[in-house]
A and B are shown apart, each in its own frame.
Chain A
């Protein structure tokens, strides 16, 4: 199938993290990595790969990550927490193990949506399917129903027509309208093995040991009708996998993780990529792109945070942190003045924070105007001067106690 809701679960960000010399661990629930992509038979929308299978591409991703020293661990994440210092994070696994880390990239993807209609659970594996690649062989020369009208529903329907006698797509919209993009729609309409029932939903799946029919409801007229079928394939969208993170991480109304342009979530140092995030297009290529962004951003986060902890919060001597920007003439002048003054106060150290490069620290300390100087002692802010005049600067060397 060529696309839409497939994601490279995890693999994508490993590479870049290791290239950035960080120690990277990839936690994968399944023995074989690749998430939804690994159950996709044909993949033809990843640039540079003219044609491959989903598992084939995921295998390449894995080898690539291995080459750069990414380590792999099998496990299911049950919860994540942020330590008291705001920097270290804890990952709790379902088997009670706990891992400690500085940055987390969430790439848990999405799973097929289950409607919960009568018969859906009962006939699982007996005529109800969520995977055309897995089950198409059973339906050779038989009739099947596909529920849904998005790209996945259309692509899987076209795939099924290679084997089955007839596909009937059950579409909730008015005649002629599918959720799939134009190219997919044209494919569906041009395929004479695909028929449509419009304005309809499935009320129940019926059968005796195996599925033998569905009960459909026309949402405009309320009328119900029986349709004989040998199988029901459900492609009614996906559900993001965020159960372990939902108390900590901000989600949108539909349950997808909200991220900024660096793929960072509402928690500094925790990033999210791929199908699990709130985004316009869910494909392997966009997931890989997210992974590249998150890897570089996570690298930057850890480096900046370590520097800050070392130089400021854990410093034995007073620290003057200057929030500045190289574009501001005043702030360059300020740093020079302070450096001259430290000759008389050799126990004071100056640390500069370029707010253009490190907005994160400026946000944390709510520095809105620059230049600003924050005096830290024992990791605590003692005094703050915003756009200070030359006479005020002396205060910084006496702390707040004077």
Chain B
């Protein structure tokens, strides 16, 4: 998974379908979810791009993307935000469902 920050964010999300996993050190659920997202990246990495963004140091960037809660999994299509999944009870299966919509 590609590590995003304010330098490369616009460039990496500009083309195709991109999944961004917004996470933070103090978000336990984020850290728990990460291995599942990495597993999804293994499985679907050929078709869509998987990225992660640590909000520490990138808070303003996250807020500019209208992300103000963790965990947040945001999908971009050609640079446009198209889907935003969020919440403590977010499950890997929900993420995979959205991925399937875009790889079909």
Contact = CB atoms under 8 A, between A and B. Distances in A.
Interface of A: 30-32, 38-39, 41, 54-55, 111-112, 124-131, 133-140, 209-211, 230-231
B16 interface: no
A134 B67 contact: no
B73 to A, nearest CB: 9
Nearest to B67: A125
B88 to A, nearest CB: 6
B87 interface: yes
B69 A127 contact: yes
Given A112-B88, A125-B84, A210-B63, A138 B29 contact: no
Say whether chain A's binding surface is mostly helix, strand, loop, or mixed. mixed
Nearest to A230: B68
Given A134-B88, A137-B56, A39 B28 contact: yes
18 contacts: A32-B32, A39-B28, A55-B28, A125-B67, A125-B84, A126-B69, A126-B84, A127-B68, A127-B69, A129-B68, A129-B69, A133-B26, A134-B28, A134-B29, A134-B30, A134-B70, A137-B56, A138-B63
Interface string B7-27: 000000000000000001011
B68 A138 contact: yes
B55 A125 contact: no
Given A39-B88, A126-B86, A210-B68, A138 B62 contact: yes
A136 B67 CA distance: 13
B35 interface: yes
Contact of B86 (A111, A124, A209): A124
**Considering residues A111, A137, A230, which has the most beta carbons from chain B within 10 angstroms of its beta carbon?**
A137
A138 B72 contact: no
Contact of B59 (A38, A111, A129, A138): A138
Given A111-B89, A136-B26, 6 more contacts: A32-B32, A125-B86, A126-B67, A127-B69, A134-B71, A210-B63
A231 B26 contact: no
Given A31-B35, A137-B26, A126 B88 contact: no
Contacts of A129: 68-69
Interface of B: 24, 26-32, 35-36, 55-56, 59, 62-63, 66-72, 84-89
Contacts of A209: 66
Nearest to B72: A125
Nearest to A125: B86
A277 B89 CA distance: 21
Nearest to A129: B69
B68 A39 contact: no
A127 B71 CA distance: 13
Given A30-B32, A41-B26, A125-B87, A137 B67 contact: no
A230 B35 CA distance: 31
A39 to B, nearest CB: 5
A125 B68 contact: yes
